[in-house]
Structure 1
């Protein structure tokens, strides 16, 4: 009887450990395999970038899928925060999957869930850009939805942030349509004003009353990619698979227009651009006149959109930067690990029974 009780205890303890490992520890184990890229300058800014979490709303998706994906994202994000300790976090749009359809109370619930899952401790800062699933595409933005997102997520259409003398410009991709809608004209005025400030900081002799900050080329953050006709030139390991990679992009839906791209590059002269939206990775060089830079497409952070979600660690100084792309555990890996561990536990208990005889 005591032998049976001992084996039952070992079995229950083993199951508890397997659950704890597969639902908590595995995220720490995988996240620990990635590290901050190094720069010669020791005083770097540590930046975490994620994109497209797509939290399910009240209309689509099964409750179990909703619970499971949010659990995975919360455990993964908190593992990243614990091990990497970033100084600032950027979330590049599509925070919500159904934000454009929600009423006021549903949207408030959305925001509360987002901040619960992607909790950042003091003094870490978090900034977000708006995505089409948050407020709708340009021609489908419901009245007040853009203002609502800006109010609750503190995310205006154009936002200029300075951290350790590194400049970040966050843009609303849907406000770059180029027409005379209020959202677009407001964004255009803000870009023009910011462009003047950056130019005065770069060449103080051109301005009588220049801005009170040191100049460095900005990092551009938005949800959409810059103009491209497809992902055919994307060859990263997490790029879209063929033949999806060769699928033609829809103008102003899959990427911002050629005109909008030329405009913001001419006005802001970025040294790097980060975006999301495609759910896949991509690294593309850009050359616009005398402005050359790399554009990074950040893969989705959600297991609903990818079998292998990703995030980016970026080390920054005002004159240099380096990027590491990091993976999270595949859902299949978690399942296989649990099955193998359970089988191993059962085999050990059976061997104990044989040896006991």
Structure 2
């Protein structure tokens, strides 16, 4: 299960957040855990609304709010990556602050990156914020992570080729390896997790529904245009901001990702890159960003190239408020009628 852009405020949350939105989201996570029974939870950045501005004590209150909201998911493996609201803008981005924030979440290194495996599926998460930041030292640290993962993947590929060459069926191909950087084919690498989307050319489908992500299937279910608004427009970076083209190409060449999951835009999109790699953008999971927050469920099939992605949205906050107000008015009307009836009975006596 994948969520993004929770935009938590911690101790700075007002009455509406503390007694309505947080309660409803906690209930949602508990119900989702019970019905979906996921193997893992992924949070694709922006846990906090303004974590880059917070003191340590206020950041601790955000973490406590985050843990209360997740509830039973804390018993599962979960992985959190850093967003621009968590880490801040390039001007204030430094290794010390990122290391401090990254240490709050499991599986992140000092640069805010991570690599893990679950159910034989490999995942790599990158601090996408640093990739926007020119000659920043932190960006170089992220590039080192990419290079390290590339070396590991190349070694796995060479081991596989050697195993094939050991069989008599493929002995004739033992001399034909090609360049190291071309040893891996598109889609043969790990699942890539980012906060910012990669630079995009080609076709995008930004609507609700489900998608079977494979070698040739790009089916999207019932269409629904999604519009961002509210607090979402006040972040450090614009919602249309993406990782630069050169960094995007570098990532594709080094990692050959099986599929990419990103966030930041607050809407659900499925994009096909020029090499056929699919990128799924996870919508915002807060009413502070949109009236109908949503999440994504990804199922990895035995066919290595196929991933089933389902998009789900919660009830609109405006509809919930109308429902609560209607119930309150109904209860007040019943109480008023009951009091009037009681007074009438007393007069008759």
TM over 0.5: yes
Residue deviations 1:338-357 (CA, integer Å, cap 9, x gap): 34445666788869x7xx9x
Report what 1:260 is aligned to.
247
**SS, match of residue 79 in structure 2:** strand
Distance in 2 (alpha carbons) for counterparts of 1:346 and 1:96: 38
Distance 1:166 1:283 in 2: 21
Gap runs ≥5 in structure 1 = 1-47, 209-214, 243-249
Distance in 1 of aligned mates of 2:203 and 2:325: 37
Structure-2 change in CA distance of 1:332 and 1:121 (3 Å): closer
The total of aligned residue pairs comes to 291
Match of 1:274, SS?
A: strand
- In structure 2, the residue matched to 1:192 is 147
**What's the CA shift string for 1:82-102, capped at 9, x where partnerless?**
221211000000000111011
CA contact (8 A) 1:251 1:257 kept: no
Extract unaligned runs of 5+ from structure 2: 164-186, 209-223, 230-236
1:132 maps onto 2:104 in alignment: no
Q: Following TM superposition, by how much is the alpha carbon of 1:258 offset from its aligned partner in structure 2, in angstroms?
A: 0.6
1:303 to partner: Cα distance: 0.7
Give matches, 1:179-218, under 5 Å: 179-204=134-159, 217-218=189-190
Cα gap change, 1:296/1:151 in structure 2, threshold over 3 Å: closer, same or farther? Answer: same
CA drift of 1:54 comes to 0.3
Q: Partner of 1:63 in structure 2?
A: 14
- 2:3 is aligned to 50
Which segment drifts farther, 220-229 or 332-341?
A: 332-341
1:335 counterpart (301, 305, 321): 321
Cα deviation per residue 1:252-299 (whole Å; 9 max; x = unaligned)? 9811101111111111111211111111121111123xxx22111111
In structure 2, relative to structure 1, the CA distance for the partners of 1:252 and 1:276 (3 Å cut) is: closer
Residue range with higher mean Cα deviation, 277-286 or 136-145? 136-145
After TM superposition, give the deviation of residue 137 of structure 1 in Å: 2.0
TM-score, length basis structure 1: 0.72
Aligned to 1:272: 259
Deviations 1:222-248 (A, max 9, x none): 110111389986455243379xxxxxx
Q: Is this contact kept in 2: 1:283–1:297, CA < 8 A?
A: yes
2:48 corresponds in structure 1 to 96
- The answer to whether residue 157 in structure 2 is matched with residue 222 in structure 1 is no
Aligned counterpart, 2:226: 239
**What do residues 48-97 of structure 1 show as CA deviations (whole Å, max 9, x unaligned)?**
000000002566xx612331332232222222112212110000000001
Q: CA-to-partner distance for each residue in 1:315-339, whole Å, 9 max, x for gaps?
A: 1135131011011111122223334
- What corresponds to 2:66 in structure 1? 114
Distance 1:238 1:162, change over 3 A: farther
**Distance of 1:109 and 1:148 partners within structure 2:** 15
Q: Which has the higher contact order (CA 8 A, sep 6+)?
A: 1
Counterpart selection for 1:175 from 127, 130, 134 = 130
Aligned to 2:219: none
Query: Does the Cα contact within 8 Å between 1:239 and 1:282 map onto a contact in 2?
Result: no
Secondary structure at the counterpart of residue 335 of structure 1: helix
1:120 partner SS = helix
